Amino acid sequence: MGWLKRSAAHTKKETTPTGPLPANAGDMPVEGGLSESAAGVEAVVRTPSPVPILQPNRNESAVLEPILTVSGVERSFQVGGQQLHVLKGIDMELQPNRLVMLRGRSGSGKTTLLNMIGGLDQPNRGEIFFLGHPFHQWNDDKRTQVRRKRIGFIFQSFALMPLLSAWENVELALRMAGVPRSEWKPRVQHCLELVGLSKRMHHRPFELSGGEQQRVAIAKAIAHRPTLLLADEPTAELDSQMGAQVMAVFREIIDTEQVTICMTTHDPTILEVADHVYQMVDGKFITT
């Protein structure tokens, strides 16, 4: 299941934390070949914001502070008059330029945690700092400002606009991020080349394979140059070959776009691609 089912616009069940929230607590995702990557093109997101957006120093990733720290995070939901404890004390860190996977059975709490990391939801207890910003304390408006500039989302079901071409889908993401129109063309072209779709730029989703659609979704998610990319089961609807292509694209964009990717998966065959795997069982991480 993904954010689409219970983001701000799509509440699945009950989304109000049942425990104490901070007083101010409160949007939100290879034919052609991977070798077609192009050099980076600067795209500056200019959405006005009173919240200072901290940037990691991209040249010193080996010695950098984590971009995200999660400490003692708990999350419960009120379901049928009972408390459902979904996250039971999560501690984790995301370092810059890494591919991190959350692995676990259905219902173990992976999506719930991803929603917290992305600022779509808040914990009942614990702390979440993203680039130094206290997501556990901030209201939805402040989290949204940071999210729009610094976080990209990828969904299991691709979440593309069906009547728009690949090019137009990526362009739409830049428009929504407030990137000046003059920067759209080179950035769209770069992102679609990066995911190996230079020969499919003007196809609409129904004219593309599942793997190609997911690569359009990746281009769309990285267009505004996020620091963190969150992907909820991005390979779940793909066969193993297309899934491998998506993972190869992830590795490529970590290097070329300087992004950290945190993704959930059930698929044991792709775990070896990860820099780090968190194994989740019943709302906690276990060491394997």
Write down the least CB distance from residue 250 to ligand ATP, Å: 19
The partner residues of 228 in beta bridges, in order of sequence, read: 151, 260
Q: Which of 7, 37, 97, 111 binds ligand ATP (CB under 6 A)?
A: 111
Distance of CA 195 to the CA centre of its chain: 16
Say whether residue 86 binds ligand ATP (CB under 6 A): yes
**Looking at beta carbons only, is 121 or 257 nearer to ligand ATP?**
121
Say whether residue 14 binds ligand ATP (CB under 6 A): yes
Distance of CA 22 to the CA centre of its chain: 25
Piece in contact with ligand ATP (CB under 6 A), picked from 60-68, 109-117, 182-190, 218-226: 109-117
Q: Which of 62, 63, 80, 106 binds ligand ATP (CB under 6 A)?
A: 106
Question: φ, ψ for residue 272 (rounded to 5)?
Answer: -65, -15
Long-range contact pairs involving 129-134 (C-beta distance under 8 Å, separation at least 24): 129/68, 129/69, 130/67, 130/68, 130/228, 131/53, 131/54, 131/55, 131/56, 131/67, 131/68, 131/227, 132/54, 133/51, 133/54
Say whether residue 17 binds ligand ATP (CB under 6 A): no
Q: Tell me the residue type at 123.
A: P
How far apart are the C-alpha atoms of 263 and 49, rounded to whole Å? Answer: 28
* Interface mask toward ligand ATP for 225-264; x: CB under 6 A: ----------------------------------------
How far apart are the C-alpha atoms of 154 and 156, rounded to whole Å? Answer: 7
Say whether residue 161 binds ligand ATP (CB under 6 A): no
**Looking at beta carbons only, is 114 or 219 nearer to ligand ATP?**
114
Write down the least CB distance from residue 131 to ligand ATP, Å: 24
**Looking at beta carbons only, is 65 or 140 nearer to ligand ATP?**
140
Piece in contact with ligand ATP (CB under 6 A), picked from 63-71, 100-108, 129-137, 183-191: 100-108
Say whether residue 204 binds ligand ATP (CB under 6 A): no
Query: Do residues 90 and 285 touch, judged by C-beta distance below 8 A?
Result: yes
Q: Which of 7, 37, 108, 213 binds ligand ATP (CB under 6 A)?
A: 108
What's the half-sphere exposure (Cβ side, CA atoms, 13 Å) at 181?
0
Write down the least CB distance from residue 67 to ligand ATP, Å: 22
Total residues at interface with ligand ATP (CB under 6 A):
18
Q: Which residues bind ligand ATP (CB under 6 A)?
A: 1, 6, 12-15, 77, 79, 84, 86, 104, 106-112
